[in-house]
Structure 1
């Protein structure tokens, strides 16, 4: 057990590609475990053989993902501020920010939890839920919402550990969620017969376990939490918000786009919504490494930026893009090879089966460009341009999604929606990367 606060900036020396690979794989295992929770829920509930249940998870999952996006946004602020201050040789300031970010995240999530609990019916109807699917989705959200605050604390701990360079323990914080869910889901859903309510309760218990692991890792192992102080939080809140608010808005762009896609396919029936639910859970597990790039590459950029090592900042950006491209090509090939098995795993039939096959065959490869945008976002957040990340992500979620999805739906139904979204992803992925390199060059020129 450590008796002093960790103060070493680990990423300012050594191979940047090695740092990218290690941080991304360990970060992805942790982040993918959180997405694996949704996949496990969907898998177990699909065994009940009711399309309404699968559709309900699709609707409820969109609402729950909003909270996760808020948590990740505040977590990014923790990772940026911890990494940047360590790189600049200010470990005590990094420690204070770790505590303030934890408090900030929990308070924000508590507010969101209350709003969601009261507005669940309106939000789910807005997404297109109706009938039995609406009833089941509301039950899931009402049970899961108290766990949002606990999840926020766990995610804050995980990102603080990433800022410290402790990728292994950051992974443990979120990996424990999937382990607990894998154990409790079958018990609650089948043995106790609680169905979708059991899946939601299992998630709350898993979040509690995650927070316990996170607090132990940050406080007991690294001794990196300063004593909680509302006065310190008040003093830090502006600097935290300058990163956290744009980062949260950036993260919210994804669930907004997902929500719109869910609504766009809703007129085509529960089978189309069920397919969207399956695809929406396969994507984070298959491409969890891509999702984790922003949080994993960010601390590497942040420490080197704090240490004024701008060549290493540019190299990290390039290495992240190379990594994202190679990984996406390999994963897309595997999804294509096992497309039938994936559809059958969730007992998909009819149009649901067809749409899952279509995604695995033609759409999955477009996630290379989503990965590129995640890497670019890491550069924006850590180089003092978080608003740029917000602009690009919301531009993609709106003008890069809505018109393409509308036109695609009119021309080719649900398949057209998927193609339209993929085209928007390609356009904004390329544009965000070009802008990120421009900012790196500009920062290096100004600071030298």
Structure 2
């Protein structure tokens, strides 16, 4: 539990800072007094989340490969993997971002954006898209720091980026009058800061990456893709599901989409610690699995699950207490206020089940069963969330959609954690722990 809390705590600080800036972004945009701007950020954010999810999947490969090599005390292999994955990630995301740029208007329209809302979303996305490779590179460098146990400096990188964003937001949005485009430029600047600091620490302090040739990158590609492909597919399930939900929500108007956009910023901030748990669990599981200590792997999953449930319960109570302030600050219409209040009061606690699936998926990715994470995420979206949300929207409108989404996600959160514990038991039976070394 101590190891989980230490790694989670360091990651949480950085994530809380980053998600706080996202919420402040939304607050500043809300102050402009136009629901279409908030809705535009919702549409653009959903599209950009596809690329972010691609990056999350790719950085999982870096963390898993480096952590395993470190656990096996092979620093040379860890350095080679680090360099190969960094090149692989940057090239892959750059190609996908270029394709998204070409089809940007069509993609946003497919999500349900139209009229002025579509134009605002285009302006915001055209600034953000070229910087997505920087975002993924920063995430990958931070994953490398966590894989060698330097969660503190990984946190500092995120804090530095969040600080730059927070300072530039009001300056660009209001002082220079750039509006929604100012928020986008502030985000780009923050990514430059994250990459600069994380690269400095990883290259000069840890001396982890090594010089690799194109032939070495190609040779390492199968090992990278063995983890990256299922991890990417796993992470793409969530934005795919979000896009379908946003499309359903758009039938209830811009105010409903605006409320959805606020929820999409509020939940990551409130539950940043839950996201951090999944990132912290991965290196712990990877290193202990590399040493065949499956008893520690199991205890890591149990302790992480306990912590997730307790944290979500506390966060739910705190959100309930400040709900009136949140609703007043981020909504400008009666429908948006009603949906946000319903979410905070009755649905937000179910995020604990998402947290259980996060932890389970992190264990799958680091135990050589990444395909199970893919299976559970897509099952959650297409067998749980989307059908239940569609039924709920048909019967009870926007509120019914939200309830269906929560119920579908909760079922697969429980099933995912049970499957992760079963996998650890099987691995422990087939690969018993090494005997302790005598002093």
Q: TM-score range by the shorter chain?
A: over 0.9
Tell me which residue corresponds to 2:436.
Answer: none
Indicate yes or no: 2:312 matched with 1:328.
yes
Q: Identify the residue that residue 403 of structure 1 maps to in structure 2.
A: 387
Deviation, 1:218, is: 0.4
Q: Is the 8 A contact 1:34 1:177 kept in 2?
A: yes
Q: SS of the counterpart of 1:399?
A: helix
Q: Is the 8 A contact 2:259 2:331 kept in 1?
A: no
Task: Say yes or no: does 1:286 pair with 2:270.
Answer: yes
Runs of 4+ that moved beyond 4 A: none
Partner of 1:339 in structure 2? 323
Per the alignment, residue 92 of structure 1 pairs with 76
Task: Output one character per residue of 1:372-411: Cα deviation in whole Å (capped at 9) or x when no partner.
Answer: 0011001101111000000101111111111101111011
Deviations 1:344-394 (A, max 9, x none): 121433000011100000111101110000110011011110000001011
Query: What are the Cα deviations for residues 230-274 of structure 1, in whole angstroms up to 9, with x where unaligned?
Result: 222111111011111111111111111221211111000111000
RMSD: 1.1
Q: Which residue of 2 aligns with 1:9?
A: none
Tell me the distance in 2 between the aligned counterparts of 1:35 and 1:253: 21
Tell me if the contact between 1:113 and 1:146 (Cα under 8 Å) persists in the aligned partners: yes
**Deviation of 1:28 (Å):** 2.2
Task: Indicate conservation of the 8 Å contact 1:37/1:177, yes or no.
Answer: no
Match of 1:48 in 2: 32
The equivalent position to 1:243 in structure 2, one of 227, 235, 246, is 227
Which runs of 5 or more residues in structure 1 are unaligned?
1-16
Inter-partner Cα distance in structure 1 for 2:224 and 2:14:
24
Question: 1:33-63 deviations in whole A, cap 9, x for unaligned?
Answer: 3333432221111110000100000000111
Instruction: Give the Cα–Cα distance (whole angstroms) in 2 for the partners of residues 201 and 228 of structure 1.
Output: 33
Match of 1:19 in 2: 3
C-alpha displacement of 1:180: 0.9
Q: Report what 2:402 is aligned to.
A: 418
Tell me the distance in 1 between the aligned counterparts of 2:326 and 2:177: 26
1:57 aligns with 2:16: no
1:161-310 matches, cutoff 5 A: 161-310=145-294
- CA 274–291 in structure 1, closer or farther in 2 if over 3 Å, else same: same
> Is 1:157 matched up with 2:141?
yes
Q: What per-residue deviation string (whole Å, max 9, x for no partner) do you get for residues 164-218 of structure 1?
A: 1111111122222211111111111111111111111111111111100110110
Q: Tell me if the contact between 1:38 and 1:61 (Cα under 8 Å) persists in the aligned partners.
A: no
Question: In structure 1, what is the Cα distance between the partners aligned to 2:57 and 2:21?
Answer: 20
Normalised by the size of structure 1, how large is the TM-score? 0.95
Equivalent residue for 1:376? 360
1-side partners of 2:231 and 2:339: how far apart? 32
Shift of 1:229: 2.4
Of 64, 71, 77, the residue aligned with 1:80 is 64
CA distance in 1, matches of 2:130, 2:114: 24
Retained in 1: the 8 A contact 2:18–2:161?
yes
1-structure distance, mates of 2:386, 2:309 = 26
Aligned residues: 432
Q: Is the 8 A contact 1:266 1:272 kept in 2?
A: yes
Q: Is 1:143 aligned to residue 127 of structure 2? A: yes
- What secondary structure does 1:168 align onto? helix
Report SS of the residue matched to 1:95.
helix
Deviation at 1:447, TM superposition (A): 0.9
1:128 aligns with 2:108: no
SS of residue matched to 1:49: coil
1:423-434 pair list within 5 angstroms: 423-434=407-418
Contact 2:71 2:291 in 1 (8 A): yes
Matched position secondary structure for 2:103: helix
Q: Distance in 2 between matches of 1:375 and 1:233?
A: 30
- Residues of 2 paired with 1:178 and 1:199: CA distance? 13
Separation (CA, whole Å) in 2 of partners of 1:70 and 1:37: 22
Q: TM-score, normalised by structure 2?
A: 0.97
- Structure 2 CA distance, aligned partners of 1:413 and 1:172? 43
- Comparing 231-240 and 271-280, the one that deviates more: 231-240
2:437 maps to which residue?
none
Q: For 1:55, what is the secondary structure of its paired residue? A: helix
CA distance in 2, matches of 1:133, 1:232: 46
SS of the equivalent of 1:223 reads: coil
Aligned-partner Cα distance in 2 for 1:258–1:334:
26
Matching residue within 324, 345, 348 for 1:361:
345
